[in-house]
Amino acid sequence: MPPASVRDEADAAGAGATNPAEIEQQIRDLEARLDLMIGRGRERADEPAYVPKPPPVPAARKSDVPKAKPRSDVPAPRASVPESATASEVLSPEFYAKQWGRAGLRSRSEEVDEFGLDPAFEAKLLPVLDFMTKRYFRVEVEGADHIPTEGRCLVVANHAGGPLPYDGAMLRAAVRRDHPAHRELRWLAEDFVYYLPFVGTLMNRLGAVRACQENAERLLNKGALVAVFPEGAKGIGKLYRDRYKLQRFGRGGFIRLCLRTRTPLVPCAIVGAEEANPMLYRFEYMTKTLGIPYFPITPTFPALGPLGLMPAPTKWRIRFGEPLTWSNYGPEAADDEILVGRLSERVRASIQSMLDRMLSERRSVWLG
């Protein structure tokens, strides 16, 4: 039945109209109005019922909110390539280093020190490091007790040649395993390593520190055990024919560091690392554009691509010598270039003598 207002209008229209045409027109107008009212009623019926909003809940205080624990079963997010990146940016190593760094920041633990050491990340890779140390390279350590059980100390070692420096990570794992106090070692890595995609960030999270006097001095002032490789990039870039021939020890920066901070020095010789990735040749053209000192050519790289960077399972031996101290010199001796050069050459000769002796004792590259 139509509404009362429509019925009243229809009765009024029928009473006042005398012409059949007018009556018919008025009926059509009333039908149109009735259809319009029915359509509006259907639209209102389809609308969701009004539900009053609940009263606002007072915000919890920061101290009342329980701290979320990181889930170990959630995989780390992968670095994605933004749509706005240009082709030149995607081809540059800095681009991938930034993307990997962002993903690492999202998945890192809350306890990361000022140099980037990530204990949670290192704990995840600990089975791999233990396998490489115990099973793959079968690292044998001698003289670990020459390293003090506490306090600052500087370990000076020869650098392994090859595309990537594995010796720092293996030295850290070996000291942690075989030292009487299981000390944590931090090693200084060359600048060019941080231009390689992923490598610099990975090494920082495992305990490496960018090599410079300021970083080393800050670590030693905190009582840390620090390892340096004075040969630098020249040591990594040694060809296979020059293996175990120590390169020049720079300008004696590690000696100045020991004199200035009164730190004992422990010489270290590593045998087996320089055959793991024997470098036959190195290209030095266009390397500045890529941010690397050279492009290595080994029996497996670049022929096998990234798989060629995998080191060979050579037998490693690490020997620590007697600690050297120069307590009779004051901090001002660090400015004496002649003294610094003489002490640097003394350390270099000590490590070279250890290397020669270990090589004469070795029967096989693979078995030791």
- In this structure, what CATH number is given to the domain that contains residue 224? 3.40.1130
Q: CB under 8 Å, gap of 24 or more: what pairs does 212-217 form?
A: 212/188, 213/253, 213/256, 213/257, 215/115, 215/188, 216/154, 216/188, 216/254, 216/257, 217/257, 217/260, 217/261
Domain-embedded: residue 221: yes
How is residue 58 written in tokens? 């007072």
Q: Which residue shows structure tokens 């190593």?
A: 93
Give the phi and the psi of residue 227 in degrees, each rounded to 5.
-115, 135
Note whether residue 9 is domain-resident.
no
Q: In Å, how far from its chain's centre is CA 132?
A: 19
Is this model's pTM higher than 0.85 or not?
A: no
Torsion from C-alpha of 271, 275, 277, 280, nearest 10 degrees:
130
Asked if the structure places residue 16 within a domain, the reply is: no
Question: Could you tell me whether strands 281-283 and 295-297 are parallel, antiparallel, or unpaired per DSSP bridges?
Answer: antiparallel
Instruction: Provide the 10 A C-beta neighbour count for residue 206.
Output: 20
**Which of 313, 331, 311, 323 is CA-nearest to residue 350?**
323
The candidate with the shortest Cα–Cα distance to 107, out of 96, 97, 121, is 121
Note whether residue 38 is domain-resident: no
Domain membership flag for residue 184: yes
Instruction: At 269, list the tokens.
Output: 């010789």
In a domain, 4, yes or no: no
Q: Are 198 and 104 in contact (CB under 8 A)?
A: no
Encode the chain (368 residues) as per-residue pLDDT tens digits: 555 554 555 555 555 556 777 888 888 888 788 777 776 666 555 555 555 555 565 555 545 555 555 555 545 445 455 555 666 666 566 666 566 556 555 555 667 889 999 999 999 999 999 999 999 999 999 999 999 999 999 999 999 877 788 899 999 999 999 999 999 999 999 988 887 778 888 999 999 999 999 999 999 999 999 999 999 988 888 999 999 999 999 889 999 999 999 999 999 999 999 999 999 998 887 677 766 778 889 999 999 998 998 999 999 999 999 999 998 999 999 999 999 999 999 999 999 999 999 999 999 999 98
Query: What's the number of domains the chain is made of?
Result: 1
**Domain extent at residue 149:** 87-361
Q: Per this entry, what is the length of the chain?
A: 368
| 80 occurs within a structural domain | no
Instruction: Give the integer Cα–Cα distance in Å for 72 and 343.
Output: 49
- Report yes or no on 60 lying in a domain: no
CA pair distance 326, 344, nearest whole angstrom: 12
